Structure 1
Amino acid sequence: MKIKLRILLTLMSVLFLINLSNAEVIKGESAQSAIPDINLSNYILGPGDKTEIKVYRNEDLSFTLTIDPSGKISYPLLGDIQAAGVTVFELRDIIKKGLSKYFKNPQVMVNLTAYQSQKITVLGGVVSPGVFNIDRQPSILEIISRSGGFSSSSDRSNVIVIRKQKSSSTVLNLDLKMALGGDKTKDILLMKDDIVYVPSESNKLIVLGEVTTPGSVSLEREFTESPMSVLDVIAKVGGFSTNADRTQVLVIRKDGEKIETKKIDIKKILEEGNIDQKLIVKKSDIIFVPKSEKRITVLGEVKSPGNISFESPIYLLEVIAKAGGFSMNANKNNVMLIRNGNKTSTVMVLNPQRMIETGDTSQNPVLQNEDVVFVPFENKRVIVLGEVTTPGYYSYTEPLNVLDAIGKAGGFLSRANRNNVFVARKGEIKKFTIEKILKHGIWDENTILQNGDLVYVSTNFITDVEDVLGHISRIFQTVSSVISPFSVWESLGKGTTPVIIQQTQ
């Protein structure tokens, strides 16, 4: 068995390498070494990063893989794995869990071997401010050196680093005079997307981040005017950009030897008119507007409900896939998309199953930031009629067989013909002999039912399919006309609203 599994893995690995241009097999100690001095517990992987994956005593599953633009890596046995947005340790656990289906307690190691297209922004009192690409984790003095060094008017004792975390921003205040004097603890390692701001002695107010024209702002006003607020300053630089997170605007202010950071919810101020939150700005303040994290909330019958972050356009089925896919009890025909506007909400009912089966792209729309996707529970039902105690509709979640369905309907009546139980499914009728199950244990006669099936327990005088059709047609009728039973179970099978029927006496 082990030999066969190893041969299978080898063949899969060969095919994998042929189709995956960014994969390199790692053998022994020839793998590229990990980036030194990086804090892997905090580093969030992103597109373009190279990861080294090793499985102990299994070189066939050891690779160096580059995360693709969609944030995924392709790995043997496991397929596509979402790697962007997690740490290397979280990625290791994902791979280990997947391989546990094939191996007992697999030992997996994941390292980061290279950054790709990561950026750090340097602004303020340096010779050449700008955005710098990095392929590893540089120190702050190294990145300032790349920007031409400090300008003559720079304040080196109060350098600000703004670091974006998963759901907020952290502000660090560094005395780089001490770092230049030999204190290596002040020469911290930077991370991707950090913003380094070196203040100058001119004490100008600075606006950074997601505004139309970032830069310095003059606070000079006519003596008759009131002091400027954060809202006034943001208006002066052209307002927010389309990607601005208005709920987490930071005002960074030096107070003596300390740096104070105040978070302001501009969105709430504008919606509620809460003037008390309109913080008055001062010279040398720094206002930072972070980038909004676009996200969609997925609820209901998916394997991993929660928030899904995204940047590029994303479709409904892609979001459901990121949430782990549909659960076993998902109603794929009636997925709700809730979209909140300024004053009203729109609810759309979509049928992703139709997209899967027929390619109807109208059922797989592009989603927007803050959309809510709700996958409802599928109310699976069968109809049990004929010689049972309580005929009617019966719901179920776990697999249901013929005997279970008859049990839900209270069991057989005394005149039931147990050798002639019929199951109707989308226009086809099959006969089952329940007596074979009860007396001889022939379980093939106890078929598993499907959503919308009709189970009919006949009397002793009904023996064939034509008799069943005639008898069911006489049972079902509305006030003015007879309803075909096929329309009933077909409507149930398609997830539409069932026809309301009335049983005659």
Structure 2
Amino acid sequence: MGILSQFRNGLLVLAALLLTACSGIPSSDKMPPASELEADPYEIGVGDTITVHVWRNPELGQAIVVRPDGYISLPLMGDVKAEGKEPEALASEITAGLSEYIRTPEVTVMVTNPVSKEFRNRVRITGQVTSPQSVAFQPGMTVLDLVLMAGGLTDFAADGRATLSRMVNGEYKTWELDLGAMLRDGDMTYNHALQPGDVISVPRKQLFRGEL
């Protein structure tokens, strides 16, 4: 009975080793860190349409497009900086400004057309691809999706030296991509899920004199 138990345990260990070897899961040092989308509060940007509502003072409320300089113009207050502020923070600032003119104002600010969000959430691919792209991010997009949308690689692409750049904690970090292995050999190790703001760069390969 002891021999059978040892044999069974040996088979379990062997099966576990085989599953690990065949899983194809990339190591953590090659995989960009995952993070939840839209984790940060929304900040108003240039081009956004915001609606300002002042309770019991409808004449002070309006829908406004944030100007290229980041400001909006409001009755009584004049120009107010809106870019880079959360709607609640802007509402508090407007409330403080209007309190000099009306008693206990109650202000709400809503972003009704978040144009800047769509631009910030784009993903881009540049360099040696048939058609460099800047497209709106869609959940589920991967590196392969963006490469195919760009029409694939050119003959001059250094497909083994491509990179994926991502903003992490306020600064860009870069990971290597072997697009050649992915496109020619079907190796999906580098087919990472994309996130808003990601940039894929495909450099030009170095040519020797005989290839010029």
Q: CA deviation at 1:303?
A: 2.0
User: In 2, distance between residues paired with 1:327 and 1:303?
Assistant: 6
Q: 2:64 aligns with which of 257, 261, 267?
A: 261
Return the letter of the residue paired with 1:256.
E
* Partner residue, 2:147: 320
Per the alignment, in what secondary structure is the counterpart of residue 280 of structure 1? helix
User: In 1, distance between residues paired with 2:204 and 2:129?
Assistant: 10
User: In 2, distance between residues paired with 1:356 and 1:244?
Assistant: 37
Per the alignment, in what secondary structure is the counterpart of residue 266 of structure 1? coil
Cα deviation 1:479-505 (Å, max 9, x = unaligned) = xxxxxxxxxxxxxxxxxxxxxxxxxxx
Cα deviation 1:302-324 (Å, max 9, x = unaligned) = 12223121222111121011122
Contact 2:157 2:205 in 1 (8 A): yes
Aligned pairs (5 A) from 1:455-494: none
User: In 1, distance between residues paired with 2:90 and 2:62?
Assistant: 22
User: In 2, distance between residues paired with 1:330 and 1:286?
Assistant: 48
If the length of structure 2 is used for normalisation, what is the TM-score? 0.53
Contact 2:49 2:63 in 1 (8 A): no
Q: CA deviation at 1:268?
A: 9.0
Contact 2:137 2:195 in 1 (8 A): no
1:246 and 2:49 are equivalent in the alignment: no
Contact 2:51 2:61 in 1 (8 A): no
Aligned pairs (5 A) from 1:147-186: none
Return the letter of the residue paired with 1:265.
E
* Partner residue, 2:93: 279
Aligned pairs (5 A) from 1:90-489: 242=39, 245-248=42-45, 250-253=49-52, 256=59, 259-261=62-64, 263=66, 264-266=82-84, 279-281=93-95, 282-283=105-106, 285-288=108-111, 290=114, 292-293=117-118, 294-381=121-208, 394=209, 396=211
Aligned pairs (5 A) from 1:11-30: none
Contact 2:133 2:149 in 1 (8 A): no
Specify whether residues 379 and 323 from structure 1 end up closer, same or farther in structure 2 by C-alpha distance, changes over 3 A only.
same
Contact 2:141 2:193 in 1 (8 A): yes
> Structure 1: any 5+ residue segments left out of the alignment?
1-240, 270-274, 382-393, 398-505
Specify whether residues 279 and 310 from structure 1 end up closer, same or farther in structure 2 by C-alpha distance, changes over 3 A only.
same
Aligned length: 140
User: In 1, distance between residues paired with 2:165 and 2:187?
Assistant: 20
Aligned pairs (5 A) from 1:12-91: none
User: In 2, distance between residues paired with 1:245 and 1:306?
Assistant: 25
Return the letter of the residue paired with 2:83.
D
Specify whether residues 267 and 338 from structure 1 end up closer, same or farther in structure 2 by C-alpha distance, changes over 3 A only.
farther
Per the alignment, in what secondary structure is the counterpart of residue 93 of structure 2? coil
Return the letter of the residue paired with 1:306.
Q
Cα deviation 1:268-313 (Å, max 9, x = unaligned) = 99xxxxx999632454644126383332111111122231212221
User: In 2, distance between residues paired with 1:368 and 1:283?
Assistant: 37
Specify whether residues 253 and 321 from structure 1 end up closer, same or farther in structure 2 by C-alpha distance, changes over 3 A only.
same
Contact 2:156 2:204 in 1 (8 A): yes
Specify whether residues 278 and 332 from structure 1 end up closer, same or farther in structure 2 by C-alpha distance, changes over 3 A only.
farther
User: In 1, distance between residues paired with 2:92 and 2:137?
Assistant: 31
User: In 2, distance between residues paired with 1:370 and 1:332?
Assistant: 22
Per the alignment, in what secondary structure is the counterpart of residue 256 of structure 1? helix
Q: CA deviation at 1:251?
A: 3.6
User: In 1, distance between residues paired with 2:156 and 2:40?
Assistant: 37
Cα deviation 1:420-477 (Å, max 9, x = unaligned) = xxxxxxxxxxxxxxxxxxxxxxxxxxxxxxxxxxxxxxxxxxxxxxxxxxxxxxxxxx
Contact 1:250 1:288 in 2 (8 A): yes
Contact 1:246 1:267 in 2 (8 A): yes
User: In 2, distance between residues paired with 1:252 and 1:375?
Assistant: 42
Q: Percentage identity across aligned positions?
A: 21
Per the alignment, in what secondary structure is the counterpart of residue 279 of structure 1? helix
> Structure 2: any 5+ residue segments left out of the alignment?
1-37, 67-81, 96-104
User: In 2, distance between residues paired with 1:330 and 1:309?
Assistant: 24
